């Protein structure tokens, strides 16, 4: 394709997508705040820390500065934890503005999943605040880096407020092993990818406690209802949560051992203190940081999210998993269809 791609973030997902794009003939420049990680990548041509066993394509270049990675980029992909997207965009903004002034616009593609703590902003809102002149899109769906990096068939959704941007991202990423569907519901796609991490954390907790398929199915089903309820309150379309970025991502994250949220939850359910469980995972567990933000958003909008509140309370250490589960199971009786009319 010959396009220039700036990949901000050299974790497992950034590495997998860099390889995917390089395999399509793109020139991919990767930058990360962790200089040690970049040095190891440049030396080994393998992300031994986050995606072992996957060798970097030859056209993937490791770059020492954000400005150097973003200069002249056709697309900038933000593959950093959600809480760092704002600072990452602020770091590369001068280079993006220079690209725009020189007549070479850069499209933003966010692949982070989460809600910014404090501001309670979604990532599209963060991008709109930091880089409003640059077209934005989000790529989300059931897509473990461990499988994408090894070429396993994967399907995701891309959403943008502009049709031509969405189609450009489809053209950029689509291969015979990576299929991208278009959506215009930015809010729904990003909230689906963010909120499912909380439910997956809860699913892992149930697994760690020794509960069975019935319990997990109930959690996933009612969790999806909560996700849609908050999404609609924030302007998303309900049907989006029944697509790839909603139920699709929810299924894979609640059931796979590739899911760091589920793995973290399993340890918590087994009795490991939450912060120690996060440390043992060794990577960012987005459900932990997103739980409080989603809890605060629910309170702010007046949306009932009992599962999210329970997971948040367990993660904070306010209640034990057994007490949280008992509280959920003994809530006042309800009619299921009342909750479906979000």
Q: What is the DSSP letter of 35?
A: H
Cα-Cα-Cα-Cα torsion 53, 55, 56, 58, nearest 10 degrees, comes to 180
Active site residue 187: no
Query: Cα–Cα distance between 197 and 184 in angstroms, integer?
Result: 22
Token pair recorded at residue 299? 């309170």
| Angle (CA) 207 211 213, round 5° | 90
CA distances from 55 to 183, 222, 282 (A): 32, 40, 21
Query: Cα–Cα distance between 223 and 203 in angstroms, integer?
Result: 10
Q: Where are the alpha helices (DSSP H) in the chain?
A: 12-23, 35-44, 66-70, 85-101, 123-130, 145-148, 163-173, 186-209, 213-233, 249-255, 260-269, 274-281, 286-301, 306-316, 321-329, 336-340
| Angle (CA) 37 267 191, round 5° | 70
Q: Catalytic: which of 196, 237, 333, 334?
A: 196
Q: Are strands 60-62 and 136-140 parallel, antiparallel or unpaired?
A: unpaired
Q: In this structure, are residues 294 and 115 in contact, taking their beta carbons and an 8 Å threshold? A: yes
The number of beta carbons lying within 10 Å of the beta carbon of residue 339 is 14
Catalytic residue positions?
196
């Amino acid at each position: 394709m010959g396009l220039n791609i700036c990949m901000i973030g050299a974790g497992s997902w950034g590495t997998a997508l860099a390889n995917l794009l390089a395999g399509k003939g793109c020139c991919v420049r990767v930058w990360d705040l962790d200089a040690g990680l970049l040095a190891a990548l440049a030396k080994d041509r393998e992300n031994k820390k986050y995606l072992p066993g996957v060798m970097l394509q030859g056209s993937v270049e490791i770059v020492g500065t954000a400005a150097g990675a973003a200069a002249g980029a056709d697309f900038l992909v933000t593959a950093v934890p959600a809480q760092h997207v704002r600072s990452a965009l602020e770091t590369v903004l001068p280079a993006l503005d220079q690209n725009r002034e020189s007549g070479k616009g850069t499209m933003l593609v966010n692949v982070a999943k989460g809600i910014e703590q404090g501001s309670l902003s979604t990532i599209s809102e963060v991008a709109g605040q930091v880089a409003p002149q640059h077209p934005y899109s989000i790529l989300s769906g059931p897509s473990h880096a461990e499988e994408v990096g090894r070429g396993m068939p994967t399907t995701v959704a891309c959403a943008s407020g502009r049709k031509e941007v969405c189609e450009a991202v489809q053209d950029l990423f689509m291969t015979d092993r990576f299929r991208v569907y278009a959506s215009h519901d930015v809010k729904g796609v990003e909230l689906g990818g963010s909120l499912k991490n909380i439910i997956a954390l809860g699913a892992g907790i149930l697994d760690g406690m020794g509960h069975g398929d019935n319990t997990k199915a109930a959690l996933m089903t009612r969790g999806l209802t909560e996700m849609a309820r908050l999404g609609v309150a924030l302007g998303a379309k309900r049907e989006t949560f029944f697509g790839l970025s909603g139920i699709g991502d929810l299924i894979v994250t609640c059931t796979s051992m590739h899911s760091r949220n589920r793995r973290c939850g399993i340890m918590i359910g087994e009795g490991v203190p939450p912060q120690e469980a996060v440390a043992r995972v060794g990577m960012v567990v987005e459900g932990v940081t997103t739980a409080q933000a989603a809890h605060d958003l629910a309170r702010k909008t007046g949306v009932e999210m009992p599962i999210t509140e329970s997971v948040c309370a367990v993660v904070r250490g306010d209640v034990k998993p057994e007490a949280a589960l008992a509280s959920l199971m003994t809530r006042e009786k309800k009619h299921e269809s009342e909750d479906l009319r979000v």
